[in-house]
Amino acid sequence: MPTGTAQRTAFDERLMSADLGARIKVCGIKQQAEIDLLAGEEVDFAGLWYGVPGGPHDLPLERWQGLAAATAATGTLTPVLVTFLKDVDAIREALEASGVRWVQLHGYPTPGVVRALKELGPDIRVIKVLHIRGGKLLEERLLAAYEKAGVDVFLFDVVTEDGRVGSTGQTLDPALVASFAGALTRPFLLAGGISAENRADYAAVTAQRQFLGIDVDTNARDAEGRISAGNVAAIRRAWKESNRG
């Protein structure tokens, strides 16, 4: 991975470019073997959970830091802190000890939290999850405020009827996502039941000028819940090797 502030910035800017093909993020990584697998499959981001109370892939801080360092050391994977934390000091502690630059904010932190994170340093990149429930984008009125606060990338995901968010395996209505995406000036990722088989269903989404790529969890795993080389390879072929739209 590039070293030095200028090189890191250029590397991250390239990752955020919606003109260079679909990015793939695989979320919920817990083992070194999973990192090794993803590094060989042209995956761009590895999501590592910290501060996700009760989450099946949540990691203690020391374990999270070790896996984050191992992810960065691959030279191809970019580690992402996936968190529900709103305490900027707690997030800063994790980032400073690990060198991780990307933070994915789940839940409903305010634009002020995003602004405070961006003030931690010029290398910090913020992915803000946008939650869709019952046909409504719950953060719709805050989109401009989030962009002004410094969100780098948005991520569309499902909220289930019982309020669960993240790694639900439930899919989003492509037409609905496309309608919301049109209002964004930042690139976005798509989550929610993404698989190798449903790539064609999202033509209206991938045609959006800000479409950046996908975030997968459930469908990257085998029946035992482990990251599957076969599933990841199939997702890569379907999404990364296809032309946008």
All structural domains of the chain: 5-240 (3.20.20.70)
With cut-offs at 50, 70 and 90, classify the pLDDT of residue 6: confident
DSSP state of 142: G
Distance CA 108, CA 144 (A): 15
pLDDT in tens, 63-101: 999 999 999 999 999 999 999 999 999 999 999 888 899
**Residue linked to tokens 């990584």:** 29
Give yes or no for residue 162 having a pLDDT over 60: no
Give yes or no for residue 170 having a pLDDT over 80: no
Q: Answer left, alpha or beta for residue 166, where phi above 0 means left and psi between -120 and 50 means alpha.
A: left
Asked if residue 183 lies in contact with residue 174, where contact means CB atoms within 8 angstroms, the answer is: no
pLDDT of residue 8: 77
Mean pLDDT over the full length of the chain: 90
- Within 13 Å of residue 102, how many CA atoms lie on the same side as its CB? 29
With cut-offs at 50, 70 and 90, classify the pLDDT of residue 2: very low
Q: Which residue has the higher pLDDT, 9 or 220?
A: 220
DSSP state of 172: P
Backbone angles phi, psi at 154, to 5 degrees: -100, 160
